[in-house]
Amino acid sequence: MVEPVGNHYIVARPVYSENSFDEEHEKLHRYHKNFWDNLKLYFRCSRQKAKRIALRFFPIVSWLPAYRFREWILSDIISGINTGLVSVLQGLAFALLVNVPPGYGLYAAFFPVLVYFIFGTSRHISVGPFPVLSLMVGGVVVRLVPDSTVNDTSTNTSIIDQERVMVAASVTFLAGIIQLLLGIIQFGFIVIYLSHSLISGFTTAAAIHVLVSQLKFMLQLSVPGYNVPFGIIYTLESVFSQIKDTNIADLLTSLLVLLIVFVVKELNDRYKAKLPAPIPIELIVTVLAALISHFLEFEKRFNVAVVGKFQAPVAPDIGILQKCIGDSISIAIVAFAVAFSVAKVYSIKHDYPIDGNQELIAFGLGNIVGGAFKGFASSTALSRSGVQESTGGKTQIAGIISAFIVLIVILAIGFLLEPLQKSVLAALALGNLKGMLMQFKEVGVLWRKDKYDCVIWVVTFLAAVFLGLDIGLATAVAFELLTVVIRSQFPSCTILANVGRSNIYRNRKDYTDIYEPEGVKIFRCSSPIFFANIEFFKEKLITAVGFNPLRILRKRNKALRKIRKMLKKGELQVTPKGFICMANQTHESDEELDNNRIEELDQPTSMTDLPIRIDWSSDLPPGITVPHVNIHSIVLDFSAVSFLDFSAMRVLQKTLKEFIRIDIDIYIAGAHEGFLEKLERCEFFDEEIKPSMFFLSIHDAVLHILLKKDTAPKLKLTEVTLHKDYIINTSNGLRSRENTVSLLFPAVPLQPHRNH
């Protein structure tokens, strides 16, 4: 019965163990599907399932027929044009990070968009190059095709560029295959292992790598790439050793472009509420820089490096694939993690679902097609997706229009960008790093909120900066999982007490108004219990109760041995008042007792052959000492224990038996559904450990103990005035009372309210 009284409630129900509750309420024993059942269900065919799979595999079939042409087409066209212009510039700029000619960045900004239009589930992300991925692909390119050590002739440079393009396309192709396979086998959950702290630290480290890698273009120095641990240090050393050879024209141009881009981006952020659309400063700067470079003949007069001619796409080299399998796996996972996290933000904002597995398939197919046409790995750039969404993009129609803009540049007007300085593209690439570099602010925030996450951020950043992005990512994931193991291996274990004389139990150290039943310890473990933390759990439990049960058990068995020996020799006589020692006490060393059938010391104490039952809390014969035990019951709160593995189960069983053998009752409260069934399957229960020790809640267990020990507090009659409050009784009646009612209300509500 539940009786609301103002902002209080009174609950009257029997004390329930797990078994009694299941019996009274007729628990159903449901059949739980095993692995083979799920496998059969997964491969079962039907017309409805085939239709559902087709709609899931081709999301365009679902959203395109429902497209609101009149309402959305204008917004998508405007958004597509703006996004397309940004895609062109970022494609050219990020190609420098891959160490391939800039024109190949346009292929990475074109082909994946076409594929995503058909297979993708996000309506707002802009697919194409991403600086972190470009840098990761660039690391593979530099490792497999290092800079030439011979004279830097145009012919030699062209050969190296072609080889590097082939490597970039091949690693992208393989990353796409990996993403496609992961999507087919429903492995989209893999992204959960990349936490926000890890991704933030990793992208910040990537921004540092981007900054360092672009210095050679800004200064126009012949700096070789180092895709090895501590390669960033070698790169900086090479830059500073050649600093005297800096091309002043490239340096001044890049600094001027960088200054203009930063200033205008700040204005865009400050006045974004008043501007109809952000000022396309990258486009303006690119056009002006190309025109100035062309008409003033910067290439001839100042020997600056320019974009040059655009190349036609060809298929990748399959022979390279076996050399970059590990790199392709990390690129595939990072590409998906970044794209999915951005897509999830926009799906929540605009209230539509996205499918992680289908996103893997879409990006996998996009990278396969992009790699087949000599593009490099694609994902989504935060800034480019922000442009597509903020300028009114409603669907991936905007993405197709942006791809059309890129196609126009590739086929028609790409030659106009040939005089563009590479230093300008380097400056534009650095101009997009502001958001990533600002993530340094998260360190202080994380330190105040969660030190584990802060350490993950710092370790990820340092590992990615100094070990390289590939090894750094693997190191960061391993360290992140290690922190999970550490937190699980050393869980929070607390002693609970009743707070406010109600059914609420909290850490006894946090409150002053607490009630602790005499002789009862309530112990909580806030973690799964498994092979790595079961010993820690055992140590904490022993510390909480204040003694080692195995030591007590052995002491008692030793005492019983000695008593039997003394009785047999006539040195001890039993009287109604206890034992009387009839001879001088002789001391037998613990070593003798330990070495004499030591395995018997761990068995339950047996007094059937003695003329009297020994009370271990009373006085024992002279010369025999056994530590006193001041508790009679232990309640283990397992409400936060989500699973218990077999190894831990064996240790837990042994530990509980040690307590039971010294006459301490064990109760387990709050175990989740299925916990009891698993213990039964694993033969956890026997003559000493029984299912009756499981209770629905801590309060049920405590009430049972108090009733069993006959120490329950008495009830007193309390007058409670109700004003039009309602009482819901067990007969489902609903009545209002406007008068004063007498209710049985426990002064210390640990006595169960019997409802007969």
pLDDT at position 71 is 87
pLDDT at position 154 is 57
Q: How confident is the model at residue 494 (pLDDT cuts 50, 70, 90)?
A: very high
Condensed to tens digits (0 to 9), the pLDDT of residues 32-48 reads 777 787 777 777 777 78
Per-residue exposure over 517-535, b if at least 16 CB sit within 10 Å of its own CB, e if not = bebbbbbbbebbbbebbbe
Determine how β-strand 578-581 pairs with β-strand 572-575: antiparallel
Between CA 468 and CA 142 the distance in angstroms is 12
Q: Is residue 583 predicted with pLDDT exceeding 70?
A: no
Q: How confident is the model at residue 710 (pLDDT cuts 50, 70, 90)?
A: confident
Q: How confident is the model at residue 361 (pLDDT cuts 50, 70, 90)?
A: very high
Taking residues 665-672, report their average pLDDT. 93
Q: How confident is the model at residue 2 (pLDDT cuts 50, 70, 90)?
A: low
pLDDT at position 621 is 79
Residue 668 or residue 613, greater confidence: 668
Between CA 409 and CA 25 the distance in angstroms is 72
**Cβ(139)–Cβ(99) under 8 Å?**
no
Q: What is the DSSP letter of 579?
A: E
Between CA 571 and CA 82 the distance in angstroms is 103
> What's the token pair of residue 80?
């597509």
Q: How confident is the model at residue 738 (pLDDT cuts 50, 70, 90)?
A: very low
Which of 32-41, 79-88, 639-648 has the largest mean confidence?
639-648
Between CA 34 and CA 697 the distance in angstroms is 29
**DSSP 3-state of 384:** helix
> Between helices 356-372 and 111-119, what is the axis angle to 10°?
150
Q: Is residue 542 predicted with pLDDT exceeding 80?
A: yes
Taking residues 302-318, report their average pLDDT. 61
pLDDT at position 700 is 93
> What's phi and psi for 222, nearest 5 deg?
-90, 75
pLDDT at position 234 is 79
pLDDT at position 461 is 92
pLDDT > 90 fraction of the chain, expressed in percent and rounded: 21
Q: How confident is the model at residue 315 (pLDDT cuts 50, 70, 90)?
A: low
Q: Is residue 483 predicted with pLDDT exceeding 60?
A: yes
Neighbours of 320 (CB within 10 A): 20
CB hemisphere CA count around 566 (13 angstroms): 25
What DSSP element (H or E) covers 378? Answer: none
- Closest CA relative to residue 62, chosen from 113, 127, 119: 119
Between CA 463 and CA 466 the distance in angstroms is 5
Residue 289 or residue 444, greater confidence: 444
Residue 280 or residue 133, greater confidence: 133
Please return the burial class of 189, using the count of CB atoms within 10 Å of its CB with bins 0-12, 13-18 and 19+.
exposed
Between CA 542 and CA 664 the distance in angstroms is 13
The region of weakest confidence among 158-162, 255-259, 305-309 is 305-309
pLDDT > 70 fraction of the chain, expressed in percent and rounded: 86
Verdict on whether the full-model pTM lies above 0.85 = no
- Closest CA relative to residue 225, chosen from 178, 168, 177: 168
pLDDT at position 312 is 56
* Residue showing tokens 């970022």: 90
Condensed to tens digits (0 to 9), the pLDDT of residues 187-246 reads 877 777 778 888 888 878 878 887 887 787 788 777 776 667 787 887 788 888 888 888
Q: Is residue 254 predicted with pLDDT exceeding 80?
A: yes
